[in-house]
Structure formats: structure tokens, C-alpha cells
Amino acid sequence: MNILIKIIYAIISVIVAIVWGLTLGGIVRKIYARVHGRYGPPIWQPFLDIIKSHGKRVSISHGIMFYLGPVFRFGGGLGTYLFIPVIYGSTVFANFSMAGDLLLVMYFIFFGQLGMALGAGEGGHPYSPLGIARGLSQMSTFELPFSLAVIAVAIQYNSLNITTIVAAQQGGILNWTLFTNPFAVIAAMISLLGMNMHSPFSLVLAPQEIPIGPPIEMNGSFLATLQTNRGLFGAAKLVLFMNLFFGGATNLPIMMIKTFLIYLVSVIIGASFPRFRPEQSFRFFLKWPTIIGIISIIFISYF
Amino acid sequence: MKKEDIEKIEEQMKLANEGLPEKERQLFSDARPTSVPPLNKYLEKFLNWGRAQSLWFLGFGTGCGAVELRPLMTSRFDISRYGIAGRPTPRQSGVFIIGGYASMKTVKRIVRSYEQMQGPKFVIALGSCTINGGMYYDSYNTINRIDHYIPVDVYIAGCMPRPEAIIAGFNKLKEKIKTGKADGMNKYAENFDWYKKNQKQIIKDWNMPDFNW
């Protein structure tokens, strides 16, 4: 019976994450539009796009992997989200947090991309492999500073359990990793820019360059699954960063405010800078954020 | 009916793909497009509402009218507030805007792009040239009526129509979609032979499959 209640809680939690992730996407589109001097689409536009994509009457497929690509991607998003405790102290939003879940979450962040690479490759469009090559290379490079930051955090709290890390940051703003281990937060926030794939790191979906990128052949429900995952995975990443570096959240409104503010960093930088070329982006991640990540480990081990 | 007769009819229903060389024919499907009936009343109404609220048009400028699509996306007219956005791939877009005159060469690309789009798909014909040829009515290399080659849902007359006229055309299309009258995809499937005959009269070097990409 216990596991049944747990499953119901997980379903509620996933739905809340999807809705919040998609709403965030809508808000961000609105912000970008205002920066451009436009009025912008309504905040609920991502939901309408998903309804529209599901409403397609015919849908073309290119083979089994083409079916499995979006499924893997969604599975990756679901896996990432389900092992992160969203709200500290809440039973409904605790998800399946356990000892060592941080490693599992980092694995799942990579997993979805690899699945998508297999699926999109079967589409046969030349832009798909181009986007995949860019995406996976960039992913490998921004994983490096992120992993260093996570190692620094693990050394600091002597744990790989996200719940323990959040618990250690309770009791005041100065207990946050942001203040106790600032170098790790800087390195991780720079790698978050790459993860969120806003400009200047928007290499994968790069409009005007390789339009749409890997999912270029995805249509109908395939695309709708990817769009749903964008909401879920987006929310999961932000919640992970909130837990690791910004003290977690004790209730839903705090979670919303914190994730929005973390996302806003990407949006401000995205709205102000043009896009990097692929090699510039890779070199950038391997240079400064990596050095800052190494400094953070030295800082937390010896000072 | 006997099983053999059914197989015979099915064999006749297959597309010949005659434009392709023999060795390439097996790479393409030979199935014809089929008309898809709407779902039950309320679900279809809901989906039609959703379709009308999110229109992605194919970013393929087929004529001079395409120049009027750029201001639509920028700050002065900002079409995204109506849930309309450009999409660079036919697989994901649902609206095809024929931007003015269509030359013989472009008709081939229009047909290819239109067939790659996933239904329900809608066509907006922009400018007088798509209605009756306009100022190119007697040209040797443009077609006069685009609706002989693909089904059209909304016409926007003028040479050139202003961006405001295009927004009005989009709103007209939204009304048609909501009432379920914009059914070009099924119309194309039902009159497939007629459309193909017209297309093949115009496109002389038909080196592509008859349908299905």
C-alpha cells in the first residue's frame, strides 16, 4: 500500500513539474519578446503547441529508433526528475530520493541526450547528425565544470544524497552553498548556461544556422513528447541546481521563485549575447569554468 | 469478393512512382494518401480549437509575397501574439503560405513541401497571382491558379497585400479551422488523381515519387 501512495505522489509531482516547466517556458518567451520590443505569445502558448502537435491526424515515422528517440528523451527527463527531492520536508514532493541519488541524476541528464541522438539520427535529415554532433560535444564539455562543482559539493557535505545536502543548507541564507562554496556555484552556473541552451550556447537548436537541429524530422506526437519533456527536464535541472546550491525549498511558492530566478540568469545572458560558434563554445567551457571548478575543489578541501 | 480480387484492386491502387529509376522505387512507399475522418464531436472541437491557437507556417518564400512575412515576425506587427510562428521544416509546420506567383520550377518544390507536411494542413494563398495569375497571367513560366495543384483554404487578394491583410487572413483561417471547414488534407486525398494529373501536366521533369517522402 505504501508503494501505491508513493506512486500517486510521484504522478502529482511529475504533473506539477511539467506544468511549471512549461509555464516557465512561456514566461521566458514573453520576456524575450519584450526585449525585442514585441508583445509576445501568451504565457500558455507551450500548452497550446502540445495540444496542436497531439492533434495531428497523420504522423510519419522512419523506423523503430525514430519511435524510441522521444521515448528515451522523455525517460531521461522523468529519471532526472524522479530522483530529485523537490521540496525539503514534503512527503508528496520527496520523489524517490535515496543515498547516492546525485550520481544517478547526473547519469540521467546524459541518458536522454544519447537516446535522442539515436532516434534523430534515423530521421535521415542532414541537420540531425549536425545538431547531434554539436549537442554531444557541447554536453561533454559543460559536464566537466558541472562534475567538478558536484565533486566540490560532495566533499563539502560529505554526501552524495541530495536530501542530506539540502538539509545541511537549512537555517539561514548564509548556509547556502552559494556562500559557503562560491567557486563551485560559479562553475556550475556557467555550465547551466550550456545546459539551458540559450544564446550564446544555443548551438543545438540554432535557428538561422541548422534550423530546429536534431528533432527536425520529428512531427505530431513525437514532437509533443519532446515538448512535454522540455517542460519536465527544464524544471528538473532548475530544481537540482536549487537543491545543490541555493538552499532548496521548503514550500511550493519558494521553489517557484527560486527556480525562476535561477532560470533568469540564463535568460538575461541569452538576451544580451549573440551565439558562439561550436569550437568557441567548447573551448570556453574547457577553459574558465573548468579552472574555477578545480579551484572550488582545492578551496573546499584545504580552506 | 474473393481474396484474389481484393489483392488485384490493392495492386491497382498502388502508386507507380514512374518518375523514379527502377532501383530507387523500392526506397519509397507506394501507398496513396487516405482521407482521415474527424474524431467524435467534442474531442474534434477541442482539437480544432487547439489547432487554431497554434499555427506554425512553413518558412518557404515561394515568390515576392514572402517579403511581407518578415515584418510580421518583427516588433511592428508581431504575429507571435496570435500563436503564429515560422517553422523551417515542413514536418512540423501546419500552414503553407504561397507567397505570390509560382513559377513552374517552384510548383515542383511547393508540391514536395506540401506533401511532406503532416495533416491537418492548411494553405494560405497570398496575392492576386495565386488566384488568377495577376500581372503574370500570360507569362510562359508561371501558373495561374494555385488551387489546381494543391487545395487552398484562404485567399488574400492584393498586389502585394499588406501585413495587416495577412493577419486578417490568418484570423479568417482560424475561424475556418474552429468550425472544422478547413479540410484541405482530406480534399487532397479524395481528389488525389485530379491533383496529380494537373501537377504532372506542369512539371515536365518528374523525377520524384508520386507521394510519400
CATH number at residue B174: 3.40.50.12280
B154: pLDDT confidence band, cut at 50, 70 and 90? Answer: very high
Q: What SS3 class is residue B71?
A: helix
- d(C-alpha A73, C-alpha A224), whole Å: 12
Backbone angles phi, psi at B127, to 5 degrees: 90, 160
Residue B120 in contact with partner chain A when CB distance is under 8 A: yes
Residue B43 in contact with partner chain A when CB distance is under 8 A: no
- d(C-alpha B140, C-alpha A223), whole Å: 42
Q: What is the pLDDT of residue B213?
A: 65
Would B107 be classed as within a structural domain? yes
Residue B85 in contact with partner chain A when CB distance is under 8 A: yes
Q: Quick check: B150 and B114 in contact, CB under 8 A?
A: yes
Residue B83 in contact with partner chain A when CB distance is under 8 A: yes
The mean pLDDT value for B4-17 works out to: 78
Residue B187 in contact with partner chain A when CB distance is under 8 A: no
Would B66 be classed as within a structural domain? yes
- Note the residue count of chain A: 303
Would B116 be classed as within a structural domain? yes
* Rg of chain B over all Cα atoms, to the nearest angstrom: 18
Nearest to A76 by CA among A217, A225, A258: A225
Q: Report CB contact under 8 Å: A52, B91.
A: no
Would B37 be classed as within a structural domain? no
If you average pLDDT over every residue of chain B, what do you get? 88
Q: How far is A47 from chain B (nearest CA, A)?
A: 9
Q: What is the pLDDT of residue B61?
A: 82
Would B179 be classed as within a structural domain? yes
Q: Report CB contact under 8 Å: B118, A58.
A: yes
| pLDDT higher than threshold 70 for residue B203 | yes
Q: Kind and range of the H or E element at B124?
A: strand B122-126
A34, closest residue in chain B (CA to CA): B75
- d(C-alpha A91, C-alpha B192), whole Å: 58
Q: What is the ipTM score, two decimals?
A: 0.90
The mean pLDDT value for B136-153 works out to: 91
Q: How far is A203 from chain B (nearest CA, A)?
A: 16
Locate A100 and state its grid cell: 547516492
Sign of CA dihedral A118, A120, A125, A126: negative
Query: What part of A 270-299 touches B (C-beta under 8 Å)?
Result: none
- d(C-alpha B137, C-alpha B132), whole Å: 7
Closest in B54, B75, B119 to A52, CB measured: B54
Range of the domain at B116: 57-213
Residue A55 in contact with partner chain B when CB distance is under 8 A: yes
Would B19 be classed as within a structural domain? no
> Which has the minimum average pLDDT: A126-135, A259-268, B1-10, B62-71?
B1-10
Amino acid identity, residue B87?
R
**A207 φψ region: left (φ > 0), alpha (ψ -120 to 50), beta (else):** beta
- How many other CB atoms sit within 10 Å of the CB of residue A26? 21
How would you write chain A as a 3-class SS string?
Answer: CHHHHHHHHHHHHHHHHHHHHHHHHHHHHHHHHHHCCCCCCCCCHHHHHHHHHHCCCCCCCCCHHHHHHHHHHHHHHHHHHHCCCCCCCCCCCCCCCCCCHHHHHHHHHHHHHHHHHHHHHCCCCCHHHHHHHHHHHHHHHHHHHHHHHHHHHHHHHCCCCHHHHHHHCCCCHHHCHHHHCHHHHHHHHHHHHHHHCCCCCCCCCCCCCCCCCHHHHCCHHHHHHHHHHHHHHHHHHHHHHHHHHCCCCCCHHHHHHHHHHHHHHHHHHHHHCCCCCHHHHHHHHHHHHHHHHHHHHHHHHHC
Per-residue model confidence as pLDDT tens digits over B91-103: 899 999 998 888 9
Q: Report CB contact under 8 Å: A41, B80.
A: yes
- Counting one residue from chain A and one from chain B, the pairs whose CB atoms sit within 8 A come to 84
Q: What is the pLDDT of residue A1?
A: 63
Q: Quick check: B47 and B39 in contact, CB under 8 A?
A: yes
pLDDT tens for each residue of chain A, 303 residues long: 688 998 999 999 999 999 999 999 999 999 999 999 999 999 999 999 999 999 898 888 888 888 888 899 999 999 999 999 999 888 888 888 888 788 999 888 888 888 888 888 888 888 888 888 888 899 999 999 999 999 999 999 999 999 999 999 988 889 898 999 999 999 999 999 988 888 888 888 877 788 888 888 888 899 999 999 999 999 999 999 999 999 888 899 999 999 999 999 999 999 999 989 999 999 999 999 999 999 999 998 887
Residue A57 in contact with partner chain B when CB distance is under 8 A: yes
Residue B81 in contact with partner chain A when CB distance is under 8 A: yes
Residue A31 in contact with partner chain B when CB distance is under 8 A: no
Q: How far is A138 from chain B (nearest CA, A)?
A: 23
A125, closest residue in chain B (CA to CA): B89
Would B44 be classed as within a structural domain? no
For residue B87, list chain A residues with Cβ-Cβ distance below 8 A.
212
Per-residue model confidence as pLDDT tens digits over B22-58: 888 888 878 888 888 888 889 999 999 999 999 999 8
Q: How many domains would you assign to chain B?
A: 1
B73, closest residue in chain A (CA to CA): A38
- d(C-alpha A171, C-alpha A181), whole Å: 16
B125: pLDDT confidence band, cut at 50, 70 and 90? Answer: very high
- d(C-alpha A46, C-alpha A23), whole Å: 8
- d(C-alpha A132, C-alpha A128), whole Å: 6
Distances (CA, A) of B165 to A128, B63, B72, B172, B178: 36, 17, 11, 10, 20
